Chains A and B, each alone.
Chain A
C-alpha cells in the first residue's frame, strides 16, 4: 500500500513537470514570441483573405492581359492568359506557394492594400465589399517578347530588351520557365527542375561576361585618357603575366594592332595589357560606376553583379578580368545597362517595367517617369565606344548581327566556362545615330557570341525597328 502511494506521488511529480513545461512553452509563445509567430510565412490568412478580393489585372504595353482574376464561386482565382511567356515577369500568385515576380513586388497595388486609408475603407473590407485591386500597365511589348522567346527557343539563356533612352524594359525572356497557371499542380517538378525554371535568368542569373565585358574595360581605358582607338599594342597569341598567361580565342596572334582593331576583333592579349596598365583599382572603379557590385533598382528581384575587390586580385587576375574572364559575374540585365550607357551618351536610365497602376475607372494611383540612374562615362567616351561597337558589327566578331539599312552596334562575348561550350553573349543597340533599342543576349553553353547570340539580337532588333520604320 505504501509503495502504491509512493508511485502515485511519483505520477503526480510527472504531471507537475509536464504542466510546468507546458506553461513555460505557452508563456514563451504567447508572450515573448507572439509577434514572430504571427509573422510566419505560413500565415496565409492574408492570402486566403485576399482571395475574396478581385486582384488587379496586369496588362502589357500592347494591351495583352498577362494576369487577371476570374471569379469562381465566392473566391477569385488567378489566371495567366499568356501562360509561360511572361511567367518570369508576372511571377505567380498561389495560396500555397506564396507570390513571386510582379505579383509580389506590386502586391500592395494589385491587392488594393495600398488603398486602405480611411475607416470607411476598413469597414468595407470587413464587410467584404471591397473595391478590386489596381491594374498594372507594363512597358513590356508582348509581340517583341514572343519574337525574342522564339529566337531563343529551347536554349538555356536569357534576353533583355530595353529602350536606352527611358530605361523601359521591352522584353525579358528566360529559358527554362514555367506556366503560372499550373504552378500548384506541377510545383514539385517546377521547383525541382535542375535547370531552375523558377529562376528569372534575365535579372537573377549571374554569368561570366566574357568579351562583352570589354566594353567596361574600354570605357575605363578611354575615360582615363591613357588609351585612344589609335593606340598601338603588340598582340601575340599568348601573353605571359605574373607567372601565368592570357591567350586569344583560338590561340591566334595578330602582330601589332591598334586598340580599335583589338576591340573589333576582341583580342584578349591587348585587353590584358590595357587592364594591367590601368590597374585593378581603376578597372573595379569603372565597373562599379556601371552599377556592378551594387543593386539595380528594378521592379523585379535582381541578382547583384559583381567583380572582386582590387586588393584581392594579382596582375594575372586583373588581366583576365579586363577580358571578362575570372571571377566577374554579371546578370544579363546588367550587361544591357552597360550597353545602354554607351547608347544613351553615357547615361544609364533606371530600368522599369511598370508604367502605372490605376484604379478600375482609370485613375492613376502610381505613374512612372523615366529617370536617370547612373552616369558612368562621359559623352565623348560614349561616342568613341559607339563607333567601336558599330565596327564590331560592321567588320568584326559581330557581323551576324548586321541588318541591311540599319546601323547596328554591338559587342560579342564568348565566355569560357570550365566545362562544355562557352556562354555566348551579345550586347548591342540600334540605330547607332539614335538608339531606340538595346539588346543583351546570353545563351548558356551556346558557343561563340558571334555565331549564336548575335543572330538572336539581330532578329529582335529587326523586328522592333522594322515595325517602327
Chain B
C-alpha cells in the first residue's frame, strides 16, 4: 500500500518540477522574443517580462492554493464557477465595464491589470463538465441528458465568440469534447457531437476569418501587415533559419517585427529559430511529459469527478499546446491560441497554473486516498512476508520491475514512509491484507496493490546492480 503513496508522490513532484521548468523556460523565451517589441513600444526591453513575472507570481500562488484544495471541495465550486464565468463574460460585453479595444472586448480592467474572463471560463467549463458528467453518469445512455448541459455550453461559446475570441472558443470546445468522450457518453453520440462541432467550427472559421482578420488588422495594423499568410511564412522562415541547433538564444532575427506576435502565439517559432530543432523538440517533450503525467494522475484517481477533471485539464493544456504548435508549423490553420505556460499572457498563464494546481491536488488526493485506506488496522506492512508474496506474482507481471526499480532509486523515501507506517500498524494484519488482496478482488489489485511499494530485497538489489 505504501507503494502507491510513494508513486503518487513521485508524480506530484515530477509534475511540479515539469511545470517549474516550463514556466522558467517560458520566461526566458518571452524575455528573448519580446525584448525588441518591448523596447520599440515602451523604451523598456523588460516591459513584457516584468509583467509576465507578476503573472507568474500570482499564478504560483494560484497553483499552491489549488494544490491544497481537496478535489471534493472543487466539485462544490463547479456550479458557482460556471455562473461566475457567465456573469464575467456578460460583464466584458457591457461597454461601461469591459475594456474594448478596436472592436474586441476581452478584458475587464481591475487596478492596473486586465483580466480576461474567457480564460477563466475555460477552467470553469472543465469543472462544470466534470461535475455534470459525474452527477449524471448513470444516465448518459440517454441523449436527452445532454440538453441542459449543451444549453450552458452554447451560451458560453456564444459569449466568448461575441468578444470575439476564436482561440479560446476552440480551446473550450476541444476540452469539453474530450471530457464528453472520456465521460462515458455513448460513443455514437460523441462522434455525432464531434462531427457537428467540426462542421460548425469549419463554417464559422471560414465565414468569420475575413472579418476577424480585419478586426485584428484594425487593432494593430503593424502586427499583421500582410494577413495571415505573412505570419505563417515568417514563422516557417524562422524555423528554417533555426536549423538543427538554432541561431543562439537571443539571436533571433525574426523577432524584430518580421514575425508578428513573436512573444505570444508565435513564440514556438522563435524557440525554433533560436534553439533550433533541439529546442523545439525539447519544448514538445515538455508537453509530452505533461500529457503523460496528467493522464497518469487521472488514471490513478479513484474518484470519478477527479478523474474527469484531471483528464479535462490535461487535455485542455496539451490540446492548446498541440494546436498552437500545429498552427505555428503550418500544419493547422492559425486560430490564435497561445502556447500554455510558455507564451506571454497573464490571464492565460494564471489559469494554466491554477489548472496545474488542480492536477497536483488530484495527485495529492490519490496519495491521501491511498493512505487513508491504509489507515485501517489491517494495512501495515511486513516487508519479508510480503516480499515473498510479491516476488511470485511479480515475475509474472513485467510491470513491477520498472516500479521496483524506481523504488530502488529512492530508498530514503521508502524507509521514511515505511517507518512512519509501521509505528501505527502491526505485522500480522498486514500480511493478512496482502493475502486477501492477492487472491481476492481483481480490480482492486489492478489499480492499487499491483503497485509494489516494497519489493524484495533481492529484486531491489538486482536493480541497483543494473543501474
Q: Which residues of A contact B (CB under 8 A)?
A: 1-5, 7-8, 10-12, 15, 18-19, 21-23, 25-27, 29-31, 33-38, 40, 42-45, 48, 96
Which of B184, B280, B291 sits near A7, CB closer than 8 Å? B184
Known: A15-B318, A22-B331. A29 touches B236 (CB 8 A): yes
A7→B181 contact, CB < 8 A: yes
Closest 4 CB pairs of A and B: A37-B240, A42-B233, A30-B277, A38-B240
A4→B181 contact, CB < 8 A: no
B272→A26 contact, CB < 8 A: yes
Task: Determine the residue in chain B with the shortest Cβ distance to A30.
Answer: B277
Determine, out of B26-34, B121-129, B321-329, B380-388, the stretch whose residues face the partner at the interface: B321-329
A23→B281 contact, CB < 8 A: yes
Known: A12-B291, A22-B326, A43-B237. A3 touches B184 (CB 8 A): yes
Interface string of B267-281 (1 = CB under 8 A from A): 000001000110011
Determine, out of B158-166, B241-249, B397-405, B458-466, the stretch whose residues face the partner at the interface: B241-249
A38→B237 contact, CB < 8 A: yes
A26-B280, A31-B243, A42-B237 are known contacts; what are 15 more A-B pairs with Cβ within 8 Å?
A4-B184, A4-B307, A8-B182, A11-B181, A26-B284, A30-B239, A30-B242, A35-B240, A37-B237, A37-B239, A40-B233, A40-B236, A42-B230, A43-B237, A48-B257
Task: Determine the residue in chain A with the shortest Cβ distance to B291.
Answer: A15
Which of A4, A27, A42 sits near B277, CB closer than 8 Å? A27
Interchain CA distance A45-B252 in the complex, whole Å: 12
Residue B105 at the A interface, CB < 8 A?
Answer: no
Q: Which residues of B contact A1 (CB under 8 A)?
A: 304
Q: Which residues of A contact B295 (CB under 8 A)?
A: 8, 11-12, 15
A45→B240 contact, CB < 8 A: no
A33→B240 contact, CB < 8 A: yes
Interchain CA distance A38-B243 in the complex, whole Å: 10
Known: A40-B237, A96-B226. A26 touches B281 (CB 8 A): yes
* CB pairs A–B below 8 angstroms (13 shown): A5-B299, A15-B318, A19-B284, A22-B284, A22-B325, A25-B331, A29-B236, A29-B239, A29-B240, A29-B272, A37-B237, A40-B233, A48-B258
Task: Determine the residue in chain A with the shortest Cβ distance to B278.
Answer: A30
Known: A4-B182, A45-B253. A29 touches B329 (CB 8 A): yes
Q: Which residues of B contact A26 (CB under 8 A)?
A: 239, 272, 277, 280-281, 284, 329
Interchain CA distance A3-B187 in the complex, whole Å: 11
Residue B315 at the A interface, CB < 8 A?
Answer: yes
Interchain CA distance A44-B284 in the complex, whole Å: 29
Interchain CA distance A2-B253 in the complex, whole Å: 51
Interchain CA distance A329-B99 in the complex, whole Å: 65
Q: Which residues of B contact A2 (CB under 8 A)?
A: 443
A31→B244 contact, CB < 8 A: yes
**B355 shortest CB reach to chain A, Å:** 16
Interchain CA distance A4-B280 in the complex, whole Å: 33
Q: Which residues of B contact A21 (CB under 8 A)?
A: 331
Known: A21-B331, A45-B258. A7 touches B240 (CB 8 A): no
Which of B184, B241, B276, B329 sits near A38, CB closer than 8 Å? B241
B contact residues, range: 35 or more
Interchain CA distance A40-B234 in the complex, whole Å: 9
Q: Which residues of B contact A12 (CB under 8 A)?
A: 291-292, 295
Q: Which residues of A contact B183 (CB under 8 A)?
A: 4
Q: Which residues of B contact A34 (CB under 8 A)?
A: 239-244
Interchain CA distance A25-B268 in the complex, whole Å: 14
Q: Among A10, A21, A30, A40, find the residue whose CB has the most chain B CB atoms closer than 10 A.
A: A30
Q: Which residues of B contact A18 (CB under 8 A)?
A: 322, 326
User: Which residues of B174-192 are within 8 A (CB) of A?
Assistant: 178, 181-184
Residue B202 at the A interface, CB < 8 A?
Answer: no
Q: Is the interface of B mostly helix, strand, loop or mixed?
A: helix
B182→A7 contact, CB < 8 A: yes
A30→B276 contact, CB < 8 A: yes
Residue B298 at the A interface, CB < 8 A?
Answer: yes
Interface string of B177-220 (1 = CB under 8 A from A): 01001111000000000000000000000000000000000000
Q: Which residues of B contact A38 (CB under 8 A)?
A: 237, 240-241
B244→A19 contact, CB < 8 A: no
Q: Which residues of B contact A35 (CB under 8 A)?
A: 240
Q: Which residues of B contact A96 (CB under 8 A)?
A: 225-226
**B131 shortest CB reach to chain A, Å:** 15
**A33 shortest CB reach to chain B, Å:** 7
Residue B288 at the A interface, CB < 8 A?
Answer: yes
**B69 shortest CB reach to chain A, Å:** 23
**A352 shortest CB reach to chain B, Å:** 36
Q: Which residues of A contact B226 (CB under 8 A)?
A: 96
Q: Which residues of A contact B308 (CB under 8 A)?
A: 4
Q: Which residues of B contact A10 (CB under 8 A)?
A: 181
Task: Determine the residue in chain A with the shortest Cβ distance to B308.
Answer: A4
Q: Among A7, A18, A96, find the residue whose CB has the most chain B CB atoms closer than 10 A.
A: A18
Q: Which residues of A contact B281 (CB under 8 A)?
A: 23, 26
Residue B311 at the A interface, CB < 8 A?
Answer: yes
Q: Which residues of A contact B237 (CB under 8 A)?
A: 37-38, 40, 42-43, 45
Known: A11-B182, A11-B311, A45-B258. A22 touches B322 (CB 8 A): yes
Q: Which residues of A contact B329 (CB under 8 A)?
A: 22, 25-26, 29
Q: Which residues of B contact A44 (CB under 8 A)?
A: 258
Task: Determine the residue in chain B with the shortest Cβ distance to A29.
Answer: B239
Interchain CA distance A34-B237 in the complex, whole Å: 8
Interchain CA distance A40-B238 in the complex, whole Å: 11
Interchain CA distance A170-B182 in the complex, whole Å: 78
Q: Which residues of A contact B181 (CB under 8 A)?
A: 7, 10-11
Interchain CA distance A23-B236 in the complex, whole Å: 15
Interchain CA distance A29-B295 in the complex, whole Å: 30
Task: Determine the residue in chain A with the shortest Cβ distance to B133.
Answer: A4
B299→A8 contact, CB < 8 A: yes
Q: Among B240, B292, B329, find the residue whose CB has the most chain A CB atoms closer than 10 A.
A: B240
Interchain CA distance A45-B239 in the complex, whole Å: 14
B178→A11 contact, CB < 8 A: yes
Interchain CA distance A24-B233 in the complex, whole Å: 19
Interchain CA distance A15-B281 in the complex, whole Å: 15
Interchain CA distance A44-B237 in the complex, whole Å: 10
Q: Which residues of A contact B280 (CB under 8 A)?
A: 26, 30
A30→B234 contact, CB < 8 A: no
A4→B244 contact, CB < 8 A: no
Task: Determine the residue in chain A with the shortest Cβ distance to B225.
Answer: A96
Q: Which residues of A contact B236 (CB under 8 A)?
A: 29, 37, 40
Which of A3, A11, A19 sits near B288, CB closer than 8 Å? A19
Task: Determine the residue in chain B with the shortest Cβ distance to A41.
Answer: B233
Task: Determine the residue in chain B with the shortest Cβ distance to A1.
Answer: B304
Interchain CA distance A7-B315 in the complex, whole Å: 13
**B116 shortest CB reach to chain A, Å:** 26
Interchain CA distance A45-B255 in the complex, whole Å: 11
Task: Determine the residue in chain A with the shortest Cβ distance to B323.
Answer: A18
**A87 shortest CB reach to chain B, Å:** 23
Q: Which residues of A contact B307 (CB under 8 A)?
A: 4, 8
Which of B182, B234, B276, B443 sits near A42, CB closer than 8 Å? B234
Known: A22-B331, A23-B284, A96-B226. A30 touches B243 (CB 8 A): yes
Interchain CA distance A289-B465 in the complex, whole Å: 86
**B294 shortest CB reach to chain A, Å:** 9
Interchain CA distance A23-B283 in the complex, whole Å: 11
Q: Which residues of B contact A5 (CB under 8 A)?
A: 299
A30→B299 contact, CB < 8 A: no
**B47 shortest CB reach to chain A, Å:** 20
Which of B230, B244, B257 sits near A30, CB closer than 8 Å? B244
**A92 shortest CB reach to chain B, Å:** 17
Task: Determine the residue in chain A with the shortest Cβ distance to B280.
Answer: A26
Task: Determine the residue in chain A with the shortest Cβ distance to B287.
Answer: A19
Q: Which residues of A contact B331 (CB under 8 A)?
A: 21-22, 25
**A445 shortest CB reach to chain B, Å:** 38
A30→B272 contact, CB < 8 A: yes
